Amino acid sequence: MLNPFQQICAVAYGEGDFAHIESIEETHDLGDPLFAFLMAELASSEGCDSREEALRRLEMAAADIRRVIDAIDQTIVI
């Protein structure tokens, strides 16, 4: 069973492609590791027990992704 934060993620991610997901176990066979990562980060079993904690975790992930985007953007590829 998904918690409210995971339910929101499932509906919002990928234009709702994963809105049908009902358990964290289902995420591992979908072929989308980013979605599986987000669902794991938002899991109650991982300590995600408040809106503030969910937002903190998502902001950290977004910052990591932003750093990778910036690094690739600043790299000259021949």
Q: Is residue 16 part of a domain?
A: yes
DSSP secondary structure letter of residue 27? G
Domain span at 35: 4-73
CB 39 within 8 A of CB 7: no
Q: Is residue 21 part of a domain?
A: yes
pLDDT digits (tens, 9 = 90+) for 16-33: 999 999 999 999 889 999
Q: Is residue 24 part of a domain?
A: yes
pTM for this predicted structure: 0.88
Structure tokens at 65: 């992704």
List the one residue out of 17, 30, 21, 29 whose CA is nearest residue 3: 21
Q: Is residue 68 part of a domain?
A: yes
List the one residue out of 77, 67, 2, 72 whose CA is nearest residue 39: 2
Could you tell me the pLDDT band of residue 77, with boundaries at 50, 70 and 90? confident
Q: Is residue 78 part of a domain?
A: no
pLDDT digits (tens, 9 = 90+) for 20-74: 999 999 998 899 999 999 999 999 999 999 999 999 999 999 999 999 999 999 9
Q: Is residue 10 part of a domain?
A: yes
DSSP secondary structure letter of residue 24? G
